[in-house]
Amino acid sequence: MNTNVNRWFPQPRHCDSRRALLTSAMGIATLGVIGAPLLGVPELSDAAALTKDVRDKLTPDQIIEEMKQGNERFRTGKMSPHDYLAQKRATIAGQYPAAVILSCIDSRAPAEIILDSRIGDTFNARIVGNIANDDLLGSLEFACAVAGAKVVLVMGHTACGAIKGAIDGAQLGNLTGLLNKIKPAVDATRYEGERTSKNGEFVDEVAKTNVRLTVGAIRERSDVLAGLEKDGKIKIVGSMYRLAGGHIAFFT
């Protein structure tokens, strides 16, 4: 099984000779432009997942670039044709995800779909308002320090109900405590206009602040992740997904 042929090699200079040979032999060399998705080619279905070797060679910046390109494919309706059964088969023996995503539970922001990623490409942690409590920090630490992921992507989104709830001071069972964790973002958002949940622009500004605060909290409260980032082994990045248009803006 040729495990090197996949789109997680965005830079042609990383192609090894075996990969180049196979790519050429399959007549898809013309697709070998930077970032061209090689998956979806039936002959390559056995290479449908990241391997440790491939993942370990990727840099955090390359992984971020691949996520940007994946979102571009989604946004423009040019998603890779996914053979999920092949991806499932390719990941049975092990997983080597390149990134871990901390995002909201909102049904309109499914990370794998809007990043056009595959089974096995990313860990996904979802919680209302994409905040980082101790258990989520532990999950991110597992993903990076134990399982080898190299990017922590915190992803907020527009029109977030959690942000609206935090602005309104909504109270409901256990949700009250969760929304309280978002409230610092409301206070920290500089905005001159109407500071209510009815003002979509303000809601989205608070969501951005919330992402930045979450990124800061990860660095501040996780010595493990802060240390990995300091050593250049991982990157912790914030982002915002815009429901209208489908674009993810990376805060880099």
Residues in contact with Zn ion by CB under 5 A are 104, 106, 160, 162
In angstroms, give the least distance from the CB of 8 to Zn ion. Answer: 28
3-state secondary structure of 155: strand
In angstroms, give the least distance from the CB of 107 to Zn ion. Answer: 9
- Residue closer to Zn ion by CB (options 96, 241) is 241
- Residue closer to Zn ion by CB (options 152, 162) is 162
Q: Quickly list H helices, 58-190.
A: 60-75, 84-91, 111-114, 134-141, 161-168, 175-180, 183-188
Q: Give the number of other Cβ atoms within 10 Å of residue 147's Cβ.
A: 15
CB distance 139 to 126 below 8 Å: no
In angstroms, give the least distance from the CB of 49 to Zn ion. Answer: 29
In angstroms, give the least distance from the CB of 105 to Zn ion. Answer: 7
In angstroms, give the least distance from the CB of 164 to Zn ion. Answer: 9
Phi-psi region of 104 (alpha: psi -120 to 50; beta: other; left: phi over 0): beta
- Residue closer to Zn ion by CB (options 106, 229) is 106
- How far apart are alpha carbons 225 and 53 in whole angstroms? 22
- Residue closer to Zn ion by CB (options 54, 162) is 162
- Residue closer to Zn ion by CB (options 104, 228) is 104
In angstroms, give the least distance from the CB of 171 to Zn ion. Answer: 18
In angstroms, give the least distance from the CB of 101 to Zn ion. Answer: 14
Sheet containing strand 235-241, edge to edge, reads 122-126, 99-103, 151-157, 235-241, 248-250
Q: Which long-range contacts (CB under 8 A, 24 or more apart) does 109-114 make?
A: 109/155, 109/157, 109/241, 109/243, 111/155, 113/74, 114/71, 114/74, 114/241, 114/246, 114/248
What would you report as the CA-atom Rg of the chain, rounded to the nearest whole angstrom?
Answer: 19
Helix (H) or strand (E) holding 126: strand 122-126
